[in-house]
Chains A and B, each alone.
Chain A
Amino acid sequence: SYVLTQPPSVSVAPGQTARITCGGNDLGSKSVHWYKQKPGQAPVLVVYDDSDRPSGIPERISGSKPGNTATLTVTRVEAGDEADYFCQVWDGRDDRVVFGGGTKLTVL
């Protein structure tokens, strides 16, 4: 079955740039979506279709996907960015939704 791989944790100082990766076989052929989730709260869609932002999501948050690795980039990191971030795709081959294991972003 299809697997999305994320690093368990990323740490960054305030004001710096955080990059969270999501890897998968033949990821280049799939649309990648990213969600932010704080403890006890509902997930929030922050990037869809690799690099599009829903309304209300700041430009500091962006997505890219060169090759088989998707990257969520958060620039000028703030305390409020501390959360779990997970990636997601639709695997058409097996007709299923696949989520990455999630990455905890810690703001030092």
Chain B
Amino acid sequence: QVQVVESGGGVVQPGRSLRLSCVVSGFDFSIYGMHWLRQSPGKGMEWVAVISFEGSNTHYADSVKGRFTISRDTSENTVYLQMNSLRREDTAVYFCAKDRTDYNYEYVFDSWGQGTLVTVSS
């Protein structure tokens, strides 16, 4: 069955960086777009970024554009989220999710991981 496992969260000071990883299994990773989303008590669920199945296209929420970078390594079945210049408002549980549509992405998230907590605090 499909498995999505995030890691890399932790406590980080404002302005610093953190890289999240998402390892997947149980499906053909090479043909699906992948997303990062986040959830915080004050702001609810927020979509963060997407990367196309072949890795050539990426798209970001305005709130993270220019600070976060999504990438993927098909040989490792892994998606990454590099987070730079972190702010307190980036504090959230970060989820990795698979898009439902193959060879494209339509922003329908059909398999999610359990999430990894990122806390930005001094």
Query: Which of the 9-residue segments A14-22, A66-74, A75-83, A95-103 touches chain B?
Result: A95-103
Cα distance A44–B107 in the bound complex, in angstroms: 14
Interface string of B41-56 (1 = CB under 8 A from A): 0001111000000000
Q: A35-B109, A90-B107 are in contact. Are A41 and B47 (CB under 8 A)?
A: no
Chain A residues near B109 (CB, 8 Å)?
33, 35, 43, 45, 88
Query: Is the CB–CB distance between A102 and B44 below 8 Å?
Result: yes
Chain A residues near B47 (CB, 8 Å)?
96-97, 99
Cα distance A44–B110 in the bound complex, in angstroms: 7
Among B46, B61, B95, B100, the residue within 8 A (CB) of A43 is: B95
Among B100, B107, B108, B112, the residue within 8 A (CB) of A42 is: B112
Q: A48-B108, A86-B44, A99-B46 are in contact. Are A41 and B61 (CB under 8 A)?
A: no
Query: Is the CB–CB distance between B44 and A48 below 8 Å?
Result: no
B114 contacts partner chain A, Cβ-Cβ < 8 Å: yes
**Interface size in chain B (residues, C-beta < 8 A):** 20
A-B contacts at CB below 8 angstroms, number:
49
| Residue in chain A with minimal CB distance to B48 | A97
Chain A residues near B112 (CB, 8 Å)?
42-44
Chain A residues near B115 (CB, 8 Å)?
42
Main secondary structure of the interface of A (DSSP, over half): strand
Chain B residues near A41 (CB, 8 Å)?
114
Chain B residues near A86 (CB, 8 Å)?
44-45
Query: Is the CB–CB distance between B108 and A45 below 8 Å?
Result: yes
B76 contacts partner chain A, Cβ-Cβ < 8 Å: no
Chain B residues near A45 (CB, 8 Å)?
100, 108-111
**Chain B residues proximal to chain A, CB less than 8 Å:** 4, 44-47, 61-62, 95, 97, 100, 106-115
With contacts A96-B47, A102-B44 known, what are 15 further pairs, Cβ within 8 A? A40-B114, A41-B114, A42-B115, A43-B45, A43-B97, A48-B100, A48-B110, A54-B100, A86-B44, A86-B45, A88-B45, A88-B109, A97-B47, A97-B107, A102-B45
**Chain A residues proximal to chain B, CB less than 8 Å:** 31, 33, 35, 40-45, 48-49, 54, 86, 88, 90, 96-97, 99, 101-102
